[in-house]
């Protein structure tokens, strides 16, 4: 930083040293996540749960086990009987082997299903009142599925001390089940002692600061 060249006033580094020396050590607080925006972390933060918390569909479509489509060709298509239904909020139950399930974005995958085809790509036929999902080629396993813990696993280190809690961090912490956040109390004007030897002129810290919160 440039020095001011004015003997009556300290240069930047000296001024900073004076202010730093007059500041008390930072105070740690635990605040609810909703009050953490803009603060600085005071400790390591760990994911409190897996994110996603369960295997979920990333698309509206049909869930099935990709294995069941392995033999599909244009000449010998594979037809999976459409059963049940999985909507967001439903619990997961065991799939009938070889069946396909209508599923919505965010819904839990049926146990035993590992792949989702979107409604747009799905070819559905009906025979004698039963609907079938038809494949003319094998489907890639894992497509359109968000796996439990793929963003963060419970216990994963999410933030280290001294990091600014941004809006993005708030969203991530909420997803990871973190509800209370260790932060440093924001400095307030009352945190600083008056500076009494400022080139002989009693002064206070020369800039306005927010009150402690
Ligand atoms: N077969 C396909 N599936 C999906 C596709 C696709 O192209 N084909 N796109 C995927 C993508 S990308 C996304 S993103 C998701 C979107 O699904 P969501 O369920 O997340 O979103 P919506 O259907 O729009 O539902 C949102 C729902 O929330 C209501 N809303 C909006 N704001 C608020 C608020 N502040 N508080 C409460 N509720 C709110 C809104 O009215 C809607 O009802 O789909 C993939 N799947
Ligand atoms: O419309 Mo989306 O791309 O997952 O947010």
CATH number at residue 60: 2.170.190.11
| Domain encompassing residue 191 | 25-53+150-213
HEC per residue, 138-195: CCCCCCCEECCCCCECCCCEEECCCCECCHHHHHHHHHCCCCEEEEECCCCHHHCCCE
The set of protein residues with a Cβ atom below 6 angstroms from ligand 1 is: 59-61, 105-106, 118-120
Last residue of a domain, one of 123, 146, 169: 146
Residues 113 and 191 in one domain: no
Which of 52, 103, 105 has the most ligand 1 atoms within 8 A of CB, as the residue to mutate? 105
Query: What is the tally of structural domains in the chain?
Result: 2
Answer whether residue 170 is part of any domain. Answer: yes
Which of 56, 57, 59, 118 has the most ligand 1 atoms within 8 A of CB, as the residue to mutate? 59
* Protein residue with its CA nearest to atom 12 in ligand 1: 59
Last residue of a domain, one of 99, 127, 146: 146
What pTM, to 2 d.p., does this model score?
Answer: 0.75
Task: Give the residue with greater pLDDT, 4 vs 90.
Answer: 90
Answer whether residue 39 is part of any domain. Answer: yes
Closest ligand to Cα 89: 1
Residues 91 and 196 in one domain: no
* Residues 19-72 pLDDT 10s: 889 888 889 999 999 999 999 999 999 999 999 999 999 999 999 999 999 999
Last residue of a domain, one of 146, 162, 186: 146
Residues 46 and 88 in one domain: no
Residues 130 and 168 in one domain: no
* Residues 70-125 pLDDT 10s: 999 999 999 999 998 888 888 888 888 899 999 999 999 999 999 999 999 999 99
């Amino acid at each position: 930083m440039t020095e001011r060249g004015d003997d009556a006033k300290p240069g930047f580094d000296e001024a900073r040293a004076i202010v730093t020396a007059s500041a008390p050590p930072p105070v740690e607080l635990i605040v609810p996540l909703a009050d953490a925006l803009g603060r600085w972390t005071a400790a390591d933060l760990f994911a409190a749960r897996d994110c996603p918390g369960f295997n979920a569909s990333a698309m509206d479509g049909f869930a099935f086990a990709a294995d069941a489509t392995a033999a599909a060709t244009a000449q010998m298509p594979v037809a999976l009987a459409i059963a049940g239904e999985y909507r967001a909020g439903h619990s997961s139950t065991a799939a009938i082997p070889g069946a396909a399930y209508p599923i919505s974005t965010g819904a839990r995958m049926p146990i035993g299903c590992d792949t989702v085809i979107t409604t747009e790509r799905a070819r559905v036929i009906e025979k004698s009142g039963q609907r079938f999902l038809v494949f003319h080629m094998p489907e890639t396993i894992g497509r359109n599925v968000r796996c439990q813990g793929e963003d963060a696993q419970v216990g994963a280190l999410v933030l280290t001390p001294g990091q600014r809690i941004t809006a993005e961090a708030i969203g991530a912490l909420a997803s990871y089940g973190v509800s209370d956040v260790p932060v440093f109390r924001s400095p307030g004007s009352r945190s600083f002692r008056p500076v009494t030897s400022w080139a002989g002129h009693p002064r206070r810290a020369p800039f306005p600061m927010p009150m402690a919160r």
